[in-house]
């Protein structure tokens, strides 16, 4: 075995048999966990045997961690301002229910080694921060390094905590559904999903250069309920496509097996977050249930992508719990599921029997954030120590977004968690760290080189291609597209927030001009108007008063679930939008409407106003205009089905939706009552079902 290049910053190197090793515990001799010639399992077993209970407790928690870069100048920091050494009161978010301690104290006294980075910093700064964190780790008794996780960072979109925590620093692709739209276009041309292979390779190269070694990604959830707020982060509604993509991502990010050049992946949200109860999300109590009203839906639609990703280093169970009353008996592999109405991180049957025994999963289970404080569905009546015990003894190995060492320790001290189970969890977690080389050559990265590595990544060119391919032409009346050569084009973006709309309009006009479009200052003087709609609806951290709104509306009167009246806006200044479109058509100018499909919007009030209608997925404006002008071919295909009307997703007084919540849009047709067709059909007769997309 080749000698790795080892670097220490406070401990020493020792030489044995002509090889160098890190003396991480400072005892002057080579211990098995320090011996890089041994396999990760052997090293992990040895290290677990040397750890105190307190060190094991810290290892079993992962918590969000601030850097020192974005704190006030006079805030306490260390390592030349890189590490945040503030003490922060509890209650800063729905996850931060406990006091946040300084970085050094968190590592050295509390023994945490897993952290989540949510800040959007340059590659060199992220790398320097990871290095500084590991310097603090190296100083500890056993010299156990830390590992940093992040939600995905390579897709375009507005910054949203927990989904798009960081945007635009790494090579920036369209949103995940845009990747699916591009892949479906490739497949329609006789190709395959190899675009995902290149995407994964770029992500892996860029992240590892910064010391980010663990991704909370990607979502293997299949879209079945159109009102689910998190559809934005999925790969759509096709179990076959999502399975193909997830398998390629696990292979591309990790490799054949986890190693020093791998990016460890956490596939989520097992066993699928798609079957919501009318869209409500389990970040809040109204969405606590997974509902399976359709025979066979769990195994047929929701489980396949998780089977495809079973070689991932870790799985994240969803907050939600399976509902007995709202479901029919579901078989998995011919065996009926015995429902336990607890969140999946507390669900022994799904974690131990389905995931490990039946699927053969060998990694570790990483809970979603906050399960012992807020999103503790099915175990609300238990104390916090009892919730820790229930999760860990049900098969969860690490609890996310908490530093609550006290309650986990209490559960262990009371023998509610066996020491054998604690050791098993710690060994699983350490195997990953050893395999990734974090104890050896990969503890520190070259921070000075990180910016250049990312800048030179092939991901940038591939991302440009993916943006072009992601645009889906839904409607093209009278061959409106491509726009005539030399045409003057008026451009305006509409958003829920008028200030955002103004900013995005300036950006869209600049990008349109950058690809050769002649942009008119006045709509009345343009040969064509391109109106870009970016609707927003709801917040996946908070329940809407009524059902999530999917129409494009402004100040729409609605009735809340409790009977109260309220109004909803998904797009501001819709009257202006209609006026511009109507005036343009009246004088013979073409109207092109682009809709950002972050949710399966109902377009019955918009499509009739458009000569051409296209769907983007946080697709950059420049590539959109390249397709609209014919400089690039129309390529993408819809990754989800767009509903025909509010009638096809109507919910009755008993909370039952007319179209089943657990079945993908393309398959809902067989369950619709007479007279209702689920997929939208436009004025040209195009059906906006999975796979639809026109070419020219």
Q: How many angstroms separate the CA atoms of 285 and 51, rounded? A: 38
Over residues 280-331, the pLDDT tens digits come to 999 999 999 999 999 999 999 999 999 999 999 999 999 999 999 999 999 9
On the 0-12 / 13-18 / 19+ scale of CB atoms within 10 A, 28 is exposed
Question: 398, 366 in Cβ contact below 8 A?
Answer: yes
Kindly list the distances between the CA atom of residue 532 and the CA atoms of 264, 579, 592, 679, 695, in Å, as whole numbers in the listed order. 37, 14, 8, 22, 20
Q: How many angstroms separate the CA atoms of 202 and 553, rounded? A: 39
CA angle 94, 100, 102 (to 5 degrees): 155
Work out the percent of the chain whose per-residue pLDDT is above 70: 98
Select, from the ranges 89-93, 385-389, 652-656, the one with the highest average predicted confidence (pLDDT).
Answer: 385-389
Mean pLDDT over each residue of the chain, to the nearest integer: 96
Q: Which residue has the tokens 């990607």?
A: 218
Question: 171, 204 in Cβ contact below 8 A?
Answer: no
**What's the mean pLDDT in 95-121?**
92
343 Cβ contact partners less than 8 Å away, ≥ 6 residues apart: 282, 288, 317, 318, 319, 320, 321, 371, 375, 376, 377, 378, 379
Q: How many angstroms separate the CA atoms of 292 and 584, rounded? A: 47
Q: Determine what percent of the chain falls in helix, strand and coil, rounding each to the nearest 5.
A: 35, 20, 50
Question: 622, 514 in Cβ contact below 8 A?
Answer: yes
Confidence grade of residue 587 (pLDDT, cut at 50, 70, 90):
very high
Kindly list the distances between the CA atom of residue 349 and the CA atoms of 375, 419, 639, 664, in Å, as whole numbers in the listed order. 19, 21, 32, 25
**What's the mean pLDDT in 547-574?**
96
Kindly list the distances between the CA atom of residue 119 and the CA atoms of 66, 116, 128, 226, in Å, as whole numbers in the listed order. 7, 9, 14, 30
Q: Is 578 left (phi over 0), alpha (psi -120 to 50) or beta?
A: alpha
Residue 190 has pLDDT above 80, yes or no: yes
Q: What is the CA radius of gyration of the chain?
A: 26
Q: How many angstroms separate the CA atoms of 364 and 344, rounded? A: 14
| Pairing outcome for strands 19-23 and 12-16 | antiparallel
- Per-residue confidence (pLDDT) for residue 258, from 0 to 100: 98
- Per-residue confidence (pLDDT) for residue 447, from 0 to 100: 98
Confidence grade of residue 158 (pLDDT, cut at 50, 70, 90):
confident
382 Cβ contact partners less than 8 Å away, ≥ 6 residues apart: 376, 390
What are the backbone dihedrals phi and psi of residue 356, each rounded to the nearest 5 degrees, phi first?
-85, -55
Over residues 610-633, the pLDDT tens digits come to 999 999 999 999 999 999 999 999
Over residues 164-189, the pLDDT tens digits come to 677 889 999 999 999 999 999 999 99
Q: What is the pTM of this model?
A: 0.97
- Per-residue confidence (pLDDT) for residue 159, from 0 to 100: 67
- Per-residue confidence (pLDDT) for residue 199, from 0 to 100: 98
DSSP letter at 260?
Answer: T
């Amino acid at each position: 075995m080749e000698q790795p290049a080892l670097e220490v910053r406070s401990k020493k190197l020792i030489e044995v048999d002509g090889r160098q090793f890190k003396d991480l515990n400072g005892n002057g001799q080579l211990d098995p966990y320090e011996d890089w010639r041994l396999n990760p399992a052997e090293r992990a077993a040895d290290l677990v045997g040397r750890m105190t209970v307190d060190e094991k407790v810290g290892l079993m928690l992962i918590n969000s961690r601030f850097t020192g870069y974005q704190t006030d100048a006079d805030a306490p920091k260390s390592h030349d301002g890189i590490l945040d050494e503030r003490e922060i009161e509890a209650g800063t978010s729905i996850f931060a229910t406990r006091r946040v301690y300084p970085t050094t104290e968190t590592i050295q006294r509390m023994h945490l080694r897993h952290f989540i980075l949510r800040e959007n910093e340059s590659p060199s700064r992220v790398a320097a921060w990871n290095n500084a964190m590991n310097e603090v780790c190296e100083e500890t008794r056993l010299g156990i390094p830390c590992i940093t996780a992040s939600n995905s960072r390579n897709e375009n979109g507005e910054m949203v905590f927990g989904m798009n925590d960081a945007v635009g620093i790494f090579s920036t692709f369209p949103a995940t559904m845009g990747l699916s739209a591009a892949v479906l276009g490739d497949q329609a041309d006789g190709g395959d999903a190899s675009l995902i292979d290149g995407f994964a390779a770029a992500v892996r190269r860029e992240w590892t250069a910064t010391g980010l070694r663990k991704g909370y990604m990607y979502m293997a959830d299949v879209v079945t309920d159109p009102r689910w707020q998190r559809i934005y982060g999925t790969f759509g509604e096709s179990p076959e496509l999502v399975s193909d993509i997830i398998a390629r991502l696990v292979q591309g990010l990790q490799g054949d097996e986890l190693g020093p050049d791998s990016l460890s992946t956490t596939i989520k949200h097992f066993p699928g977050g798609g079957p919501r109860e009318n869209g409500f999300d389990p970040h809040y109590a109204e969405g606590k249930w997974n509902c399976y009203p359709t025979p066979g839906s769990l195994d047929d639609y929701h489980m396949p992508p998780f089977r495809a990703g079973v070689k991932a280093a870790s799985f994240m169970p969803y907050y939600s719990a399976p509902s007995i009353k709202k479901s029919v008996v579901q078989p998995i592999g011919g065996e009926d599921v015995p429902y336990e109405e607890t969140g999946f991180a507390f669900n022994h049957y799904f974690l131990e029997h389905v995931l490990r025994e039946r699927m053969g999963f060998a990694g570790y289970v990483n809970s979603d954030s906050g399960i012992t404080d807020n999103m503790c569905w099915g175990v609300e009546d238990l104390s916090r120590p009892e919730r820790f015990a229930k999760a860990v003894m049900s098969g969860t190995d690490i609890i996310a977004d908490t530093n609550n060492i006290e309650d986990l320790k209490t559960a262990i001290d009371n023998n509610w968690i066996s020491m054998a189970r604690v050791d098993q969890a710690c060994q699983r977690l350490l195997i990953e760290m050893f395999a990734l080389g974090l104890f050896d050559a990969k503890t520190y990265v070259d921070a000075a080189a990180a910016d250049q590595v990312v800048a030179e990544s092939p991901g940038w060119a591939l991302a440009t291609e993916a943006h072009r391919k992601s645009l889906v032409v839904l409607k093209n009346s009278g061959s409106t597209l491509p726009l005539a050569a030399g045409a003057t084009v008026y451009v305006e973006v509409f958003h829920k927030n008028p200030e955002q709309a103004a900013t995005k309009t300036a950006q869209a006009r600049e990008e349109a001009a950058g690809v050769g479009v002649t942009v008119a200052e006045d709509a009345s003087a343009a040969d064509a108007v391109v109106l870009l709609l970016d609707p927003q609806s709801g917040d996946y951290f908070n329940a809407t008063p009524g059902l999530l709104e999917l129409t494009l509306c402004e100040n729409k009167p609605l009735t809340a679930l409790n009977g109260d009246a309220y109004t909803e806006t998904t797009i501001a200044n819709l009257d202006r939008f209609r006026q511009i479109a109507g005036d343009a058509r009246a004088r013979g100018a073409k109207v092109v409407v682009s809709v950002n499909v972050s949710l399966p919007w109902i377009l019955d009030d918009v499509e009739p106003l458009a000569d051409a209608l296209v769907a983007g997925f946080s697709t950059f404006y420049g590539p959109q205009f390249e397709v609209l002008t014919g400089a690039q071919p129309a390529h993408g295909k819809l990754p989800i089905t767009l509903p025909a009307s509010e009638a096809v997703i109507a919910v009755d007084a008993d909370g039952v939706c007319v179209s089943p919540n657990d079945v993908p849009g393309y398959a809902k047709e067989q369950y619709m009552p007479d007279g209702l067709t689920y997929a939208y059909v436009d004025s040209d007769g195009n059906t906006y079902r999975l796979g639809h997309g026109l070419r020219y």
